[in-house]
Amino acid sequence: MGMVGGGKDAFIGGIHRMAANLDGEIELVCGAFSSSPEKSKASGESLYLPANRVYGSFEEMIQKEKQLPEGERMDFVSIVTPNHMHFPPAKMALENGFHVVCDKPMTLNLKEAKELRDLVKKTGLLFCLTHNYTGYPMVKEARHMIKDGKLGKIRKIVVEYPQGWLATKVENKQADWRTDPARSGIAGCMGDIGTHAENLAEYITGLKITEMCADLTTFVEGRRLDDDGNVLLRFENGAKGVLHASQISVGEENGLNIRVYGETGGLKWRQEEPNTLIATWLDKSAQNLRPGVGQNYESTKRHIRVPPPGHPEGYLEAFASLYRNFAITLRSRLKGENPDPIYLDFPSADDGVRGMVFIETVVASSNSKEKWLKVQE
């Protein structure tokens, strides 16, 4: 793995590295950790990389690595930069034969996203978008229960992502680019975390959102992008829903959560206590579903690292599962084997386009007097 971005004072780069390390399936071999060559060098050194594999730019990294012999050069690029810097390295990596792992949202805008998706298709290379929350075991369990019809036809979906860290005019590296249209895109809160909520709802239910009615707000004076949004949803099968996300909900940490109600059952899951999935039923007691207790689906089991129940797995493990699935799939491919479908389970370029469609529609809807906007490419 070669990394683009993720220098010393970045938050998400370290997360990606721990996620990649955890299972011992991936080795960081090179990186272009910063747009400043000095910072990149310093970061590489603190990561115990040899100096000749630490590059001053992603362009240099891709070019130089390409010249290394197979087996020695990086197998894939991991892109952990702000949104506006996803597309250029992803495009160049694909065009030079490198597989790609990329942070979300996929690109700065829908146009780039479609171009990237086309390139993935054309090159046939692997692409993984790190919608990390789909890596939790109980998210897998929820998805498979619904697929299996345990809840009957889905009627209602409520998905929320409240945070509070931008309730005031925060100024730091993390806040700065997220509230800057040039680096973040047309949406703030909705791009940063609304897309996680959208992705989670569609992933768990297997249903597409078809129409939206949104009300986005910028509460903090002087901020240039939305910091809160409430959205009514309609799904392809007639289900109704609500999505709301916020970065001004004081005291909320990373409160992503989802509730799904079908004709015969319901499910509730909260990211902050990810190892419990509450199942509710018509005329029966609610159950606390847990990893390793009772009958989990096969996919759930393969996403559990600590077999005895009650040893909590968290955010890094869920994140690591994306990397692990990607690595196992890539290894199968390098060996010429058919990948195990259970490990083919990581967010794709299609999911990335879907996220960008969400962003563009939610912003358009908020600006529109029309009640319902269709969600379409």
Residues between 88 and 147 that touch a copy of itself (CB under 8 A):
none
Which two tokens mark 298? 């096969």
Which residue's CB is nearer to a copy of itself, number 112 or number 227?
227
Query: How many other β-carbons are positioned within 10 Å of the β-carbon of residue 95?
Result: 13
Which residue's CB is nearer to a copy of itself, number 124 or number 251?
251
Which two tokens mark 12? 């998400």
> Rounded to a whole number, what is the largest CA-CA distance in the chain?
65
Minimum separation from the CB atom of position 321 to a copy of itself (A)? 12
Using CB under 8 A, which residues numbered 318 to 377 contact a copy of itself?
368-371
Contact call for residue 75 and a copy of itself (CB under 8 A): no
Choice from 280, 332, 350, 364 touching a copy of itself (CB under 8 A): 280
Minimum separation from the CB atom of position 64 to a copy of itself (A)? 22
Q: What is the DSSP letter of 134?
A: G
Contact call for residue 313 and a copy of itself (CB under 8 A): yes
* Residue 208 near residue 202 (C-beta atoms within 8 A): yes
Using CB under 8 A, which residues numbered 232 to 261 contact a copy of itself?
232, 234, 240-242, 244, 246, 248-255, 259, 261
3-state SS assignment for residue 154: strand
Contact call for residue 219 and a copy of itself (CB under 8 A): yes
Choice from 69, 124, 307, 336 touching a copy of itself (CB under 8 A): 307
List Cβ neighbours of 366 (8 Å cut-off, separation of 6 or more).
214, 215, 216, 226, 229
Choice from 65, 192, 198, 317 touching a copy of itself (CB under 8 A): 317
Choice from 68, 176, 182, 282 touching a copy of itself (CB under 8 A): 282
Choice from 1, 3, 4, 15 touching a copy of itself (CB under 8 A): 15
Stretch that binds a copy of itself, among 68-76, 78-86, 101-109, 163-171 (CB under 8 A): 163-171
3-state SS assignment for residue 260: strand
Locate tokens 């680096």: which residue?
A: 183
Q: In this structure, is the dihedral angle defined by the CA atoms of residues 226, 227, 232 and 237, taken in order, positive or negative?
A: positive
Stretch that binds a copy of itself, among 29-37, 99-107, 312-320, 356-364 (CB under 8 A): 312-320
Which residue's CB is nearer to a copy of itself, number 40 or number 348?
40
Contact call for residue 273 and a copy of itself (CB under 8 A): yes
* Residue 290 near residue 275 (C-beta atoms within 8 A): yes
3-state SS assignment for residue 159: strand
Structural element, H or E, at residue 208: none
Which residue's CB is nearer to a copy of itself, number 20 or number 128?
20
Which residue's CB is nearer to a copy of itself, number 252 or number 360?
252
Which residue's CB is nearer to a copy of itself, number 103 or number 112?
103
Choice from 215, 332, 333, 364 touching a copy of itself (CB under 8 A): 215
Query: How many other β-carbons are positioned within 10 Å of the β-carbon of residue 267?
Result: 25
Which residue's CB is nearer to a copy of itself, number 25 or number 115?
25
Torsion of CA 24, 289, 163, 318, to 10 degrees: 10
Which residue's CB is nearer to a copy of itself, number 185 or number 241?
241
Choice from 2, 31, 266, 355 touching a copy of itself (CB under 8 A): 266
Contact call for residue 265 and a copy of itself (CB under 8 A): yes
Contact call for residue 45 and a copy of itself (CB under 8 A): no
Contact call for residue 35 and a copy of itself (CB under 8 A): no
Torsion of CA 60, 20, 316, 257, to 10 degrees: 70
φ, ψ (nearest 5 deg) of residue 278 = -90, 125
Q: How many residues bind a copy of itself (CB under 8 A)?
A: 89
Stretch that binds a copy of itself, among 20-28, 86-94, 142-150, 201-209 (CB under 8 A): 20-28
Pairing between β-strand 265-270 and β-strand 154-162 as defined by DSSP bridges: unpaired
How many angstroms separate the CA atoms of 94 and 99, rounded? Answer: 6
Contact call for residue 302 and a copy of itself (CB under 8 A): no
- Name the residue among 40, 30, 117, 38 with its Cα closest to residue 66: 30
- Name the residue among 131, 103, 109 with its Cα closest to residue 377: 109
What DSSP assignment string belongs to 47-72? Answer: TT--GGGB-SSHHHHHHHHHHSPTTT
